[in-house]
Amino acid sequence: MKTLVIIAHPDINQSRINAHLKQAIINQPDITVHELYREYPDESIDVQYEQRLLEDHDRTIFQFPNYWYSYPPLLKKWFDDVLERGWAFKGRYALRGKAFGVAISSGFTPEDYRFDGHHRHTIEQIMAPFYATCNFIRTKSLPLFKTFEDLMVTEADLDQQAQKYLEYLRQSFSFHYNAWE
């Protein structure tokens, strides 16, 4: 299985979590790492190149920090530009049957992301646009890979999380959310 990881961190040089996760997955034979902010400093996305990358991989994981309960802006632009009508939906469903996932880092703790917690919403809830997109373009959606900043205190915590991330990227999931089937 070929896995593409699309990293969207606006300032990876200042990152602890996403930089650490990235280190664990680069140079793995079955994983392609693609960094949007590095590739497109002017935010001008090469749509055909991105579409080819998606077509060439079975699974795509979007890795990014939670910014105001959403994607960083270049990743939102990526969805706007790359998932073109006639390619991703309407007429053609080029990604039908492929799997999409999200590896999101957030501040706070898991307890803060509960109905009765600080944010009053779960991470799954705030990622509703992602799930709706997968449904619309007929990709399978994978469980989220979540990292909470307040739990990543030591280097050992980061190392352990990076190991779990590698396992997540290679895990086969028996359940996929396929609303259209």
Ligand X SMILES: Cc1cc2nc3c(=O)[nH]c(=O)nc-3n(C[C@H](O)[C@H](O)[C@H](O)COP(=O)(O)O)c2cc1C
CB of 14 to ligand X, least distance (A): 7
Q: Which stretch binds ligand X (CB under 6 A): 63-71, 138-146, 155-163, 171-179?
A: 63-71
Q: How many residues bind ligand X (CB under 6 A)?
A: 15
Q: For the beta carbon of residue 146, count every other beta carbon within 10 angstroms.
A: 19
Tell me the C-alpha distance between 87 and 11, whole Å: 31
Phi, psi of 8 (to 5 degrees): -130, 85
CA distances from 161 to 21, 50, 144, 145 (A): 8, 28, 14, 10
Exactly one of 66, 139, 141, 161 binds ligand X (CB under 6 A); which one? 66
Q: Which stretch binds ligand X (CB under 6 A): 45-53, 61-69, 130-138, 159-167?
A: 61-69
CB of 167 to ligand X, least distance (A): 20
CA–chain centroid gap for 91, Å, is 26
Judged by beta carbon, residue 68 or residue 175, the one nearer ligand X is 68
CA distances from 173 to 4, 67, 74, 95 (A): 16, 27, 29, 18
Stretch 80-109 residues interacting with ligand X (CB under 6 A): 105-108
Exactly one of 1, 2, 16, 56 binds ligand X (CB under 6 A); which one? 16
Stretch 140-169 residues interacting with ligand X (CB under 6 A): 149
